């Protein structure tokens, strides 16, 4: 996706060097439609520069800082030297992510989608998310709930969610805890099964969460949770243990949650 407007002073932009002159280099801005910036030779690299071609080459992708924007004269002044390595890597990753999101938009809306239609959907997503990539990543993790406040038709939201879940690689974290369950009921085996089913959520665990319960050694059971972030994972882990505890205690048994596996089970 290319923006039709102008970059802001201080913004980091990605572009391709398309012309090198004695006084500096011209950069086509990849994120802005029909926008070109000039990086003066003094802003290409630190120190004295004898030959600018010793530092950059035509066709090279660079990250530059916007020093000034003069819309009346159609001029954008850039600096390559003012961008440190961390900023460069972060911006390049952000740019690559948006390229991915652009491809996902075409998958969701169709390769022949009109520019107006694309812009309408993109602007609706950007009104609620920091970037198109963030919108698709959230959709992959949280499904239609992530787009509940986006002003789009339900069928478009469903298509975006489907596309996101088929294409977005979501980062996940894993946490583990343990719960001790003891039953003093004559039907203790059944009571334990009920407690374990309660721990597993009986189908109420969020779609983005994977939760499993396994036997370790009497009376200990392992609860493992895979989720998009640590807060969600920890909340789901504690909720699972609490469900198991309440279930077993409701029938006269006992339950206790702990983080570490018992030493005598090692």
Is the separation of the CB atoms in 153 and 109 below 8 Å? no
Q: Which residues contact 111 (CB under 8 A, 6 or more apart)?
A: none
Cα–Cα distances in angstroms (integers) from residue 221 to residues 6, 62, 231, 251, in the given order: 58, 53, 22, 18
> What is the structure's pLDDT at 103?
94
Q: 41-87: per-residue pLDDT in tens?
A: 999 998 888 889 999 999 999 999 999 999 999 999 999 999 999 99
Q: List the structure tokens of 131.
A: 């970037």
**In the chain, what are the domains?**
12-82 (2.40.50.140), 87-167 (1.10.150), 173-265 (3.30.70.1130)
Percent of the chain, pLDDT > 70? 97
Cα separation, 219 vs 108, whole angstroms = 50
Cα–Cα distances in angstroms (integers) from residue 156 to residues 39, 134, 152, 260, in the given order: 42, 17, 6, 46
Cα separation, 186 vs 192, whole angstroms = 11
Q: Is the pLDDT of residue 260 over 90?
A: no
Q: How many of the other CB atoms lie within 10 Å of CB of 251? A: 16
> What is the structure's pLDDT at 266?
47
Q: Is the pLDDT of residue 112 over 90?
A: yes
Q: Is the pLDDT of residue 207 over 90?
A: no
Q: Which of 4-8, 91-95, 152-156 has the lowest mean pLDDT?
A: 4-8
> What is the structure's pLDDT at 264?
56
Name the DSSP letter for residue 1: -
Q: 146-190: per-residue pLDDT in tens?
A: 898 999 999 999 999 999 988 988 778 888 999 999 999 888 899
Q: Is the pLDDT of residue 265 over 70?
A: no
Indicate the pTM of the whole model. 0.62
> What is the structure's pLDDT at 263?
61
> What is the structure's pLDDT at 2?
66
Percent of the chain, pLDDT > 90? 70
């Amino acid at each position: 996706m290319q923006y039709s407007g102008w970059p802001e002073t201080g913004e980091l932009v990605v572009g391709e060097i398309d012309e090198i002159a004695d006084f500096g280099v011209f950069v086509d801005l990849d994120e802005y439609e029909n926008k070109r910036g000039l990086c003066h030779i003094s802003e290409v690299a630190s120190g004295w520069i004898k030959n600018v071609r010793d530092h950059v080459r035509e066709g090279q992708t660079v990250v530059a800082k916007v020093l000034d924007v003069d819309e009346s004269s159609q001029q954008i002044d850039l600096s390559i030297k003012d961008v440190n390595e961390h900023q460069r890597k972060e911006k390049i990753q952000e740019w690559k992510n948006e390229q991915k999101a652009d491809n996902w938009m075409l998958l969701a809306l169709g390769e022949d989608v009109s520019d107006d239609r694309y812009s309408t959907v993109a602007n609706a997503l950007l009104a609620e998310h920091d970037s198109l990539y963030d919108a698709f990543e959230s959709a992959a993790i949280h499904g239609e709930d992530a787009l509940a406040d986006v002003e789009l038709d339900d069928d478009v939201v469903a298509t975006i969610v489907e596309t996101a879940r088929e294409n977005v690689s979501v980062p996940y974290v894993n946490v583990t805890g343990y719960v001790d369950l003891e039953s003093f009921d004559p039907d203790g085996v059944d009571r334990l099964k009920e407690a374990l089913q309660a721990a597993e959520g009986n189908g109420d665990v969020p779609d983005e969460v994977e939760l499993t319960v396994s036997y370790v050694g009497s009376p200990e059971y392992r609860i493992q949770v895979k989720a998009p972030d640590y807060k969600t994972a920890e909340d789901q882990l504690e909720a699972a243990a609490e469900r198991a505890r309440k279930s077993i205690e409701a029938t006269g048994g006992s339950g206790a949650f702990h983080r570490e596996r018992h030493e005598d089970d090692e």
